[in-house]
Structure 1
Amino acid sequence: MKRKFGRIFMIVTDSLGIGDDGRQAEFGDQGADTLFHVSESGLLEIPTWKKLGIGEVTKVHNYNKKNKDHLAYMGRIIEKSNAKDTLAGHWEMMGIETKIPNPQFVENGFPAELIEKLEKAFDGRKIIGNREASGTVILAELGDQEIKNGDVIVYTSPDSTLQICGHEQHMGLENLYRYSKAAREICSSRPEWNVARIIARPYVGENGKFTRTFNRHDYANKPPKATILNQLQAKGVKTIGVGKINDIFVGQGIDQVYPPASDNENMDVAIELASKNSTNEFIFVNLVEFDSHYGHRRNLEGYANNLNSFDIKLTKLINALKEDDLLIMTSDHGNDPSFPGSHHTREALPLTVFSKSFTGKNKNLGVLNGLGTTGNIVARNFDLELIDTGDDIFDKLI
């Protein structure tokens, strides 16, 4: 089969939900609508995404104009997985449905037996923290104690994680990563402890003034089966992971890695790659700051400004795309900055599909079943087996 697109760029705007997906009541998230509530701040300026058609699949405050000539195919995805986290969302895109969510420890922290095993693995260091917390808050509270006493801050976030803080000079990155790998082994040894991700959280600074760095590393569960990424490799298609992608898939199916950085920097990588005269590539990009810096921290203004910056970078990326390139954009879950608490929110997710070669008139895709709809676009283009975690819309992309 002749490939329709030489390269496919897939960008995940991490946590950018678009409202009710019909299952919000199950997750206690009725009323969450990330993009709309961010737009209500009055700060949102996303002219490029509006031209592509974002207003066709969700409400945007003070933007009621229907655009019959929008440039991209637009859909509203309902996630299949019984979860609302990063791992489940990305895995579903590539063919794995999460039917039983990984355990969370938000209410009571980690059990004493697990903490005891972790302390032994952490060279006998005492674990402090052990509760659900904002990473910046717990660092401000306990960072000095960790440095002074040689303790280890361990905490969890509102999804299935065990997070470990370590000062880059006092603890050292090598020790932090060693402890995190040990924690992954320990947590994976028992189903009731098997969190989706162990996160190494390095930081710098002194005297209560600390800054987290981009030397963060996630130790996720390994995908339980082969994904679209593995199929691509087997076909000789180069797979490139930008940002957290390599961590999310534990290196499975990834040929080239650009490590986590800011959303602007990750978009710059995508723009640089688009500017090259390459082909036969799948470029998979995660933009984590929407989630980590603005969603979890309930920062509406920051979320809006990050979206504005993204829209500027999106314009540059589109300009750099070749005629036979395809751009797919979606999200992995919601995280409404206006919603109570600091948890992810269960929401419908936007799908934007754009190519300069499109000539079709009706670009409304309607409601789509499963994030694997994105993976099936990739599969059809590169003549791979379809996955069952999404719809097949490839023939509509004309």
Structure 2
Amino acid sequence: MIDRVIWIVLDSVGMGELPDAEKYGDVGSNTIGNISKALGGLKLPNMEKLGLGNIDGMQGVNKIESPLGCYARLAEMSNGKDTTTGHWEMGGIYSEKPFPTYPNGFPKEVVDAFESAIERKMIGNKPASGTAIIEELGEEHIKTGKPIVYTSADSVFQIAAHEEVIPLEELYNMCQIARNILQGEHAVARVIARPFVGELGNFTRTPNRRDFSLTPPYNTVLDNLKNNNLNVMAVGKIEDIFCGQGITEAIHTKDNMDGVDQTLNYMKQNKKGIIFTNLVDFDMKWGHRNNVKDYGRGLEEFDARLPEILDAMQESDVLFINADHGCDPTRPGTDHTREYVPFLAYGKTLKADVNLGTRKTFSDIGQTTAEILSVEPIRYGESFLEEITK
């Protein structure tokens, strides 16, 4: 019997372009494969033992004989390639219409409403790299107190502010105001607080980021678990992505390794339900910044910690590892990439070396989780529980 799912999302770790990648300008994207090629290989022995290199279409990772886990390639059914769309689909939500994006900045009606509500002007209002825009506008922000508002190719309204100029609680309040404004046709997927510290030429973003997502339009597997008195323990930005919906307890993290530590802490508690973890550094620190070297190092650092997670697992645990989209750091630009994502499953009650092929939707994970823990099925996805259990 399985009574706990440890579900870890390696944010942006894609594995090759989806058939519709041309629509998104992402032909040739392959986050894992292109990083491995650029670095002359990746050392991921522990994920390889679970079957990472055996996944259909996987490039840049070693294929082995008789892997210990079950493995698959997952396609995204929803239209989009952002964090919210990917995570919501895992939980059972199909997003037919992509969230709005603003390549020319936000329109006057949004700007006017936001400035009126916060009672101060803003600066920026254009697509930009988060690190670049604080270098460009940080000095003006410090002198004037005007928040820096910017977006990207993703559906985001981001507010950057120096923590000594606009304190965190005030920044978070600004984000909530923006979230309340950005509804209807301007319902961006996420409003993001981007605090930073330091002086001109040496500005540094802090770990105090916070995401203000839209509320999911209907119940996900998380709600079904919570409604059946099971624990939904969120690590990292999971709570923000689901706007707190379906979460029983949560902890935010400073970086990937803190995310692993907090996952291990929850594992020690032996509560029934799921531990749902997002490791965001792959995306935020390395993918969006085209930092191939550190992205590869980050993958190897996670792989090196995987044995700790496996050793901490109980007989009744299963481990799921997957991604939510791609963010190929070798590609031009700094946007997410429309890719397949890898999936690995491991547990004492699961079969070894099961190739689940290419799945049609991320929702298959949520549907399988619902069946494992005997709660109501979600709207989309097909459970693969029968295929992987002994």
Aligned pair partner of 2:18 in 1, 18, 21: 21
Q: Is the 8 A contact 1:80 1:389 kept in 2?
A: no
**Counterpart amino acid of 2:132?**
V
Structure 2, unaligned runs of 5 or more:
none
Deviation at 1:218, TM superposition (A): 0.8
Q: Does 1:46 align with 2:41?
A: no
**Corresponding residue of 2:255:** 262
Q: Secondary structure at the match of 2:376?
A: coil
Q: Is the 8 A contact 2:15 2:59 kept in 1?
A: no
Q: Secondary structure at the match of 1:346?
A: coil
Deviations 1:57-87 (A, max 9, x none): 14343x55x4231011000111110111100
Deviation at 1:335, TM superposition (A): 0.7
TM alignment of 1:102-181, pairs within 5 A: 102-106=99-103, 108-123=104-119, 125-181=120-176
**Counterpart amino acid of 1:213?**
T
Deviation at 1:20, TM superposition (A): 2.6
TM-score norm. by structure 2 comes to 0.96
Deviations 1:154-204 (A, max 9, x none): 00022000000111121111211111111111111x41x211110011111
Q: Secondary structure at the match of 2:158?
A: strand
Structure 1, unaligned runs of 5 or more:
none
Aligned pair partner of 1:303 in 287, 295, 298: 295
**Corresponding residue of 1:224:** 217
Q: Does 1:12 align with 2:3?
A: no
Q: Is the 8 A contact 2:70 2:352 kept in 1?
A: no
Q: Is the 8 A contact 1:93 1:389 kept in 2?
A: no
Q: Secondary structure at the match of 2:165?
A: helix
Output the CA distance in 2 between the equivalents of 1:225 and 1:266.
28
Q: Secondary structure at the match of 2:294?
A: helix
Q: Secondary structure at the match of 1:284?
A: strand
Q: Percent identity?
A: 40
Output the CA distance in 2 between the equivalents of 1:361 and 1:170.
55
**Corresponding residue of 1:284:** 276
Q: Secondary structure at the match of 2:71?
A: strand
TM alignment of 1:231-270, pairs within 5 A: 231-270=224-263
Q: Is the 8 A contact 1:371 1:389 kept in 2?
A: no
Note the aligned Cα RMSD (angstroms): 1.4
Q: Is the 8 A contact 2:368 2:382 kept in 1?
A: no
Output the CA distance in 1 between the equivalents of 2:139 and 2:201.
6
**Counterpart amino acid of 1:223?**
P
**Counterpart amino acid of 1:264?**
M
Q: Is the 8 A contact 1:8 1:327 kept in 2?
A: yes
Q: Does 1:379 align with 2:366?
A: no
Q: 1:5 to 1:112 in 2, by over 3 A?
A: same
TM-score norm. by structure 1 comes to 0.94
Deviation at 1:148, TM superposition (A): 0.6
Output the CA distance in 1 between the equivalents of 2:177 and 2:201.
28
Q: 1:211 to 1:361 in 2, by over 3 A?
A: closer
**Corresponding residue of 1:59:** 58
Q: Does 1:364 align with 2:355?
A: yes
Output the CA distance in 2 between the equivalents of 1:215 and 1:277.
26
Deviations 1:105-127 (A, max 9, x none): 12x1111221111111222x221
Deviation at 1:385, TM superposition (A): 2.2
Q: Is the 8 A contact 1:196 1:221 kept in 2?
A: yes
Output the CA distance in 1 between the equivalents of 2:90 and 2:208.
26
Q: Is the 8 A contact 2:68 2:353 kept in 1?
A: no
Deviation at 1:43, TM superposition (A): 5.4
Output the CA distance in 2 between the equivalents of 1:46 and 1:215.
30
Q: Secondary structure at the match of 2:65?
A: coil
- Count of residue pairs the alignment pairs up: 387
Structure 1 residues 96-105 or 39-48, which shifts more?
39-48
Q: Is the 8 A contact 1:156 1:162 kept in 2?
A: yes
**Corresponding residue of 1:79:** 76
